[in-house]
C-alpha cells in the first residue's frame, strides 16, 4: 500500500508541479502539549487545475525527478 497524506497547496506557479504543505499534530507523551510539524513537498500534477489553498490527497510514487516522489491522488 502506498503512503497517502492530506496536504494544502501553497504554490502552483511551476509547470506540472505544485508545492504542498503537510501539517502533522500530536501530543507530547510527557507534557501533553500539542506539537505541530510542517513539511513541504513538491508534487506532480498533470491536470494543472489546482490553486493555492486547495486541499488535496497526495500519494507516494516512484521518483519523477530529483525532488518529486509524490503525485496528486485527488482533490478534497
Q: Residue 33: what pLDDT?
A: 97
Domain range spanning residue 39?
Answer: 4-75
Residue recorded with cell 485527488: 74
Class of residue 43 by CB neighbours under 10 A (exposed 0-12, middle 13-18, buried 19+): buried
Q: Residue 31: what pLDDT?
A: 97
Q: Residue 48: what pLDDT?
A: 87
Task: Write the CATH number for 13.
Answer: 2.40.50.140
Class of residue 2 by CB neighbours under 10 A (exposed 0-12, middle 13-18, buried 19+): exposed
pLDDT digits (tens, 9 = 90+) for 7-62: 999 999 999 999 999 999 999 999 999 999 999 999 999 988 999 999 999 999 99
Amino acid at each position: 500500500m502506498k503512503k497517502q497524506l492530506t496536504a494544502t497547496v501553497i504554490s502552483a506557479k511551476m509547470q506540472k508541479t505544485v508545492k504542498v504543505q503537510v501539517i502533522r499534530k500530536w501530543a507530547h507523551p510527557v507534557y501533553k502539549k500539542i506539537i505541530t510539524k510542517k513539511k513541504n513537498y513538491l508534487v506532480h500534477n498533470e491536470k494543472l487545475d489546482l490553486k493555492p489553498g486547495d486541499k488535496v490527497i497526495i500519494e507516494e510514487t516512484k521518483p519523477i525527478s530529483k525532488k518529486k516522489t509524490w503525485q496528486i491522488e485527488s482533490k478534497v
